[in-house]
C-alpha cells in the first residue's frame, strides 16, 4: 500500500501536476479497499518528512463554500473569483489563492456547521440583510471541514483586524464541539500543518452544552 501511494506522489512531483487523495484511491481500489487507507497513508508520509500535503503535490478535494460579495479571490493563475450574496462559491485550495480581496466595510465572518443552514442564510441574502445591518462572510465546510476551508478561515483570522468578530455556529453536541475545535485549534492528524490551519479567534455563537445542562435538557442527538 505504501509503495503504491509513494509511486503516485512521485509521479505528481515529477510532472508537477497535483493529485487528489481521491485520484490515488481510484487508481487501485482493490488494493486500498477504503479511502481512509489512502488518507492516513498520505498524512503519515507528510508527517514523517515534515512537509505539508501540498508540498507533496497532494490536494484535498474541495467541498467548502463561502457566501458574501465583500470577498473576492485572486488566484495564482490571475483569475479573480467574486463572491456572491445569494449564491455559494466553492473555496479553492489555499495554494491556488494568491490574495484575498476584502472590502473595507466587512463587519463579521461566520462559520456554519450545517450546509442546510448555510444555504438558507445564503438564499435570503443574510450577508447583506442582517441585524447588524453591515456586510459579512458566511463559510461552511459542510460538516467536518476540509483543508481548503480551514486554510481560508485561517487567512481571514490572521488578516482581518481584531475588532472584526469571527463566529462559529455549531451544534451543542460532541460532533459540533469537535468541528469547532478543529477550526480553532487544529486536528490531531494534521498537527504538522497546524500553523496554516488554525483560527484561534473563533467565537462559539449559540447554545452550549453547559447551558443545556442547567436548563435540564440534554444535548440534541444526531438523527
Active-site residues, by number, are 26
- Interstrand relation of 203-204 and 166-169 (parallel, antiparallel or unpaired): parallel
Tell me the backbone φ, ψ of residue 5, rounded to 5 degrees.
-65, -45
Q: Give the dihedral of Cα atoms 211, 215, 218, 219; nearest 10 deg.
A: -30
- Interstrand relation of 19-20 and 97-102 (parallel, antiparallel or unpaired): unpaired
**What is the rounded distance in angstroms from the CA atom of residue 197 to the CA atom of residue 202?**
12
Strand order in the sheet with 80-82: 80-82, 71-75, 97-102
Amino acid at each position: 500500500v505504501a509503495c503504491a501511494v509513494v509511486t503516485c506522489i512521485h509521479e505528481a512531483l515529477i510532472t508537477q501536476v497535483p493529485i487528489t487523495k481521491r485520484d490515488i484511491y481510484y487508481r487501485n481500489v482493490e488494493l486500498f479497499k477504503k479511502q481512509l487507507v489512502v488518507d492516513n497513508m498520505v498524512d503519515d508520509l507528510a508527517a514523517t518528512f515534515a512537509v505539508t500535503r501540498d508540498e507533496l503535490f497532494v490536494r484535498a478535494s474541495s467541498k467548502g463554500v463561502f457566501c458574501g460579495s465583500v470577498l473576492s479571490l485572486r488566484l495564482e493563475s490571475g483569475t479573480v473569483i467574486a463572491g456572491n450574496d445569494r449564491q455559494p462559491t466553492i473555496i479553492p485550495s489555499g495554494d491556488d489563492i494568491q490574495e484575498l480581496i476584502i472590502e473595507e466595510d466587512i463587519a463579521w465572518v461566520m462559520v456554519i456547521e450545517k450546509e442546510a443552514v448555510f444555504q438558507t442564510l445564503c438564499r435570503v441574502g443574510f450577508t447583506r440583510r442582517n441585524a447588524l445591518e453591515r456586510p459579512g462572510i458566511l463559510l461552511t465546510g459542510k460538516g467536518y471541514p476540509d483543508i481548503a476551508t480551514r486554510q481560508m478561515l485561517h487567512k481571514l483570522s490572521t488578516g482581518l483586524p481584531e475588532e472584526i468578530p469571527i463566529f462559529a455556529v455549531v451544534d451543542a453536541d460532541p460532533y459540533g464541539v469537535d468541528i469547532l475545535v478543529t477550526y480553532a485549534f487544529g486536528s490531531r492528524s494534521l498537527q504538522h500543518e497546524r500553523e496554516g490551519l488554525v483560527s484561534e479567534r473563533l467565537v462559539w455563537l449559540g447554545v452550549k452544552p453547559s447551558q443545556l445542562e442547567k436548563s435540564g435538557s440534554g444535548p440534541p442527538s444526531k438523527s
